[in-house]
């Protein structure tokens, strides 16, 4: 889906089909919006970076594979069909030992790597890019 076209009530988006067209790891693609939340898809492998989002919670939903969300005091381990909400202000680092396909639900103000900039960081404009 190129950018966010005007969504109609009967619009259907298949997250798996969207992910089949994603080729770069850690490069979320915005595929929908609900109120002030973006629905994104991404392929993950390896680790992103330790970071936090001061003002936004972040929902990770695993569609394929497994994912660990590391925290300073432990970790959440997710398998296919699991979701986990990272609380705002909480330092975390997503890690996928093998390729993992996820959906993200994030407030439109959520910066990709929060308070940290790396070569993996994607702007919202880049996240609207074609898959």
For the chain, what is the domain count?
Answer: 1
Domain presence at residue 105: yes
Instruction: Give 59-75 pLDDT, tens digit per residue.
Output: 999 999 999 999 999 99
Three-state helix/strand/coil letters over 76-117: EEEECCCEEEECCCCCEEEEEEEEEEEEEEEECCCCCCCCCC
Domain presence at residue 6: no
Q: What is the CATH number of the domain that holds 30?
A: 2.60.120.10
Q: How far apart are CA 32 and CA 7, in angstroms?
A: 8
Domain presence at residue 120: yes
pLDDT band at residue 1 using 50, 70 and 90 as cut-offs: very low
pLDDT band at residue 112 using 50, 70 and 90 as cut-offs: confident
pLDDT of residue 47: 94
Domain presence at residue 7: no
Domain presence at residue 110: yes
Which residue range is the domain that position 57 belongs to?
A: 15-127
pTM for the model stands at 0.85
Instruction: Give 31-54 pLDDT, tens digit per residue.
Output: 999 999 999 999 999 999 999 999
Of all residues in the chain, what percent carry a pLDDT higher than 70? 92
């Amino acid at each position: 889906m190129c950018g966010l076209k005007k969504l109609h009530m009967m619009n259907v988006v298949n997250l798996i089909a969207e992910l089949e067209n994603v080729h770069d790891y850690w490069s979320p693609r915005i595929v929908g919006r609900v109120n002030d939340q973006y629905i994104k898809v991404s392929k993950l492998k390896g680790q992103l970076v330790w970071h936090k989002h001061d003002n936004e919670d972040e929902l990770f939903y695993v569609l394929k594979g497994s994912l660990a969300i590391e925290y300073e005091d432990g970790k959440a381990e997710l398998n296919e069909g699991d979701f986990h909400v990272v609380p705002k202000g909480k330092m975390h680092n997503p890690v996928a030992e093998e390729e993992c396909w996820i959906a993200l639900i994030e407030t439109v103000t959520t910066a990709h790597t929060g308070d940290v900039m790396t070569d993996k960081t994607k702007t919202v404009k880049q996240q609207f890019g074609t898959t």
